[in-house]
């Protein structure tokens, strides 16, 4: 009777996941922002990542083996830690993957390899993105779908951990160019042989794309902006026997197994602002947009950080403004030095740009 109750309970839980699991998954995760002067070097050394707080770490406690082979995580078998980061102004996602495995399987040339599989949907457009899930059934599993659809609006990387005698990753789709410079880079550090246990450190970065077809000239990068969410997910495919084609576990961050080909099953990762320790108390920043070149009309946009009480703009032509975001019309053509001075309870700051503003 006890065995029967356990079976019923297990089936009930599986049914709950199948019908409600993803829709009830309200987890959100954070993407750490590296300061521009602390961008991590892609060298397989995790020291650059020590400044990332523990609150950004995604560990085994967030994963589940949806193959059903491993009822719970066992750090003696497999233990992983993932950190994700970004740098303001760069459309790159940086990753640190640290893993212990009691059996590293990587001696073969194909997909039978311990794998860190990630999917990224930079603009959260969602939906299926591999050929076998094409909504037009006439195109399912066709080369037409592969070239026009597979990996185009969201991308999947099978990252070999480690990759020995083969490329560091399979970019699953018709765009293998995304896994090389200037779109990505990787470095790995380990000292074990196939079949042995040990720890692996993998550093890599990738570029997410809103559109990535076979031709890189037509590609459109996803724009990464502070506080924006991106769609991201991963799974660890763990092989423990080179002679067994089946894996020993599919440790999934999503509650939907087909996250590997459907971006709707990714999870929201927020591109976080700088942590307070890396921010100045007050910091003048600004940009501009030429509204009408014929009329020499320029809009100035304040991007300063900190508590600010006053703004003072010097437009470089003898005129000034105390507005936060002024629009200024220049009388004469020329190249101008524009200066923004700000002031607040914690001090003053100035930002001058030499000849950036030019009108004809």
CATH number at residue 261: 2.60.40.1190
Note the pLDDT tens digit of each residue in 131-144: 999 999 999 999 99
134 & 89 share domain = yes
Q: Residue range 100-119: average pLDDT?
A: 97
203 & 340 share domain = no
87 pLDDT higher than 90: yes
| Closest to 304 measured CA to CA, from 335, 282, 271, 326 | 282
The whole domain housing 336 covers 280-359
313 & 337 share domain = yes
Note the pLDDT tens digit of each residue in 210-219: 999 999 999 9
**Domains in the chain, number:** 2
Q: Is residue 5 assigned to a domain?
A: no
Whole-model pTM over 0.85: yes
15 pLDDT higher than 50: no
**CA 52 to CA 334: how far, in whole Å?**
45
What pLDDT, on a 0 to 100 scale, did the predictor assign at position 19? 43
212 & 68 share domain = yes
Number of H helices, E strands in the chain: 2, 24
Note the pLDDT tens digit of each residue in 297-336: 999 999 999 999 999 999 999 999 999 999 999 999 999 9
Q: Residue range 241-259: average pLDDT?
A: 94
Cβ neighbours for 171, distance < 8 A, ≥ 6 positions apart: 151, 155, 156, 157, 177, 178, 179
Q: Is residue 325 assigned to a domain?
A: yes
Share of the chain above pLDDT 70, in %: 93
């Amino acid at each position: 009777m006890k065995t029967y109750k356990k079976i019923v309970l297990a089936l009930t839980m599986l049914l709950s996941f199948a019908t409600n699991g993803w829709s009830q998954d309200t987890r959100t995760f954070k993407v750490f922002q590296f300061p521009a002067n602390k961008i991590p070097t892609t060298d397989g050394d995790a020291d650059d990542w020590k400044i990332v707080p523990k609150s950004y770490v995604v560990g085994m406690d967030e994963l589940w083996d949806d193959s059903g082979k491993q009822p719970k995580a066992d750090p003696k078998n497999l233990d992983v830690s993932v950190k994700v980061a970004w740098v303001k102004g760069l459309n790159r996602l940086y990753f640190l993957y640290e893993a212990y495995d009691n059996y590293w399987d990587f001696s073969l040339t194909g997909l039978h390899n311990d794998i860190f599989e990630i999917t990224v949907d930079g603009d959260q457009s969602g939906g299926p993105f591999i050929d076998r899930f094409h909504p037009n059934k006439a195109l399912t599993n066709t080369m037409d779908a592969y070239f026009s659809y597979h990996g185009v609006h969201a991308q999947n990387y099978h990252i070999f951990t480690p990759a020995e005698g083969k490329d560091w990753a399979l970019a699953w789709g018709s765009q293998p160019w995304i896994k090389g410079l200037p779109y990505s880079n990787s470095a790995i550090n380990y000292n074990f042989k196939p079949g042995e246990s040990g720890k692996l450190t993998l550093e890599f970065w990738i570029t997410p794309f809103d559109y990535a077809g076979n031709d890189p000239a037509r590609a459109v990068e996803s724009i990464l902006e502070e506080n924006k969410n991106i769609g991201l997910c991963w799974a660890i495919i763990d092989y423990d026997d080179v002679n067994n084609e089946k894996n020993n576990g599919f440790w999934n961050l999503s509650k939907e197994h087909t996250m590997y080909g459907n971006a709707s099953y990714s999870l929201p990762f927020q591109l976080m602002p700088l942590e307070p320790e890396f921010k100045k108390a007050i910091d003048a920043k600004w940009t501009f947009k030429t509204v009408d070149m014929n009329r020499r009309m320029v809009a100035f946009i304040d991007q300063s950080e900190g508590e600010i009480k006053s703004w003072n703009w010097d437009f470089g032509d003898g005129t000034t403004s105390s507005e936060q975001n002024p629009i200024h019309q220049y009388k004469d053509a020329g190249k101008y030095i524009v200066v923004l001075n700000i002031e607040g309870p914690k001090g003053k700051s100035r930002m001058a740009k030499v000849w950036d503003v030019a009108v004809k």
